[in-house]
Amino acid sequence: MIGRVVPMPHTVPHNARQSAVLILLFPVADVPHILLMKRKEDSGAHSGQVSFPGGSADPTDKDMMFTALREAEEEVGVTANDITIIGGLTNLYIPVSNFNVHPYIGYMDTNPEYILSHNEVAHVIEVPVHYFLNDDYKTLTDVVSPAVPGVIRQVRAYKLKDGTIIWGATAMILAELEAILKERFA
């Protein structure tokens, strides 16, 4: 699912901005779902893209897991006290925005109630986990990154039933989760 618009360096730069995302799992009618969100259209490198709730670490954050939970609460209104952290996935460096992302998997036993930060989030997307385990929802598609306008890249991506495309860092994180789930439950 690698869909880079800027080449990957050999090592994460020392000035990379540390950030964290929350991969939130929750049941809808007893079917496990994942929370995604569509970012608001703006001038940022990830404008309008589908992502997990998350963002930059603050100097007062005690660790990256705290960052993931704080950002999820700020962006979509899910409360950290309602979430059980299961674990983390592999850190992922994103050259286009110079973020070193720390993904954390969390679980809620109820469907979240959202309070969106409309400065950052256009809307939330709840996707059944099994979609990401099904090759029918994988595609090769052309994308234009806001970071490199005018350049079309062909990337691997997930494509939801409504046509929503999930590519880049979010797709790479989902692909790692997919591999873990297939290994664990195969």
Is residue 174 within 8 A of residue 182, CB to CB? The reply is no
Is residue 171 within 8 A of residue 1, CB to CB? The reply is yes
| SS3 call for 130 | helix
- pLDDT at position 13 is 87
Is residue 138 within 8 A of residue 145, CB to CB? The reply is no
- Tell whether 65 is covered by a domain: yes
- Tell whether 30 is covered by a domain: yes
- Residue 3: count of CB within 10 angstroms of its CB: 21
Kindly list the distances between the CA atom of residue 94 and the CA atoms of 13, 78, 137, 177, in Å, as whole numbers in the listed order: 11, 25, 24, 18
Could you read off the pLDDT of 40-67 as tens digits, one per residue? 876 555 557 899 999 999 999 999 999 9
- pLDDT at position 185 is 75
| b/e map 69-83, b = 16+ CB within 10 Å | bbbbbbbbbbeeebb
- Tell whether 152 is covered by a domain: yes
Model confidence, pTM: 0.90
What is the rounded average pLDDT for all residues in the chain?
Answer: 90
Measured CA to CA, the distance from residue 107 to residue 163 in angstroms comes to 26
Tokens of 125: 């997307």
Burial of 161 (0-12, 13-18, 19+ CB in 10 A): exposed
Which is more confidently placed, 112 or 40? 112
Pairing relationship of beta strands 17-28 and 99-107 according to DSSP bridges: parallel
- Per-residue pLDDT band at 14 (split at 50, 70, 90): very high
- Tell whether 2 is covered by a domain: no
- pLDDT at position 142 is 87
For residue 86, what is the domain's CATH number? 3.90.79.10
- Tell whether 43 is covered by a domain: yes
Could you read off the pLDDT of 155-186 as tens digits, one per residue? 899 999 999 999 989 999 999 999 999 988 76
Angle at alpha carbon of residue 88, lines to 35 and 134, rounded to 5°: 50
Share of the chain above pLDDT 90, in %: 73
For residue 44, what are the domain limits? 17-185
Tokens of 92: 């992922």
- pLDDT at position 186 is 63
Q: Which of 100, 114, 139 is nearest to 36 (CA)?
A: 114
- Tell whether 11 is covered by a domain: no
Q: Which of 38, 32, 31 is nearest to 52 (CA)?
A: 38
- pLDDT at position 184 is 84
How many structural domains are present in the chain? 1
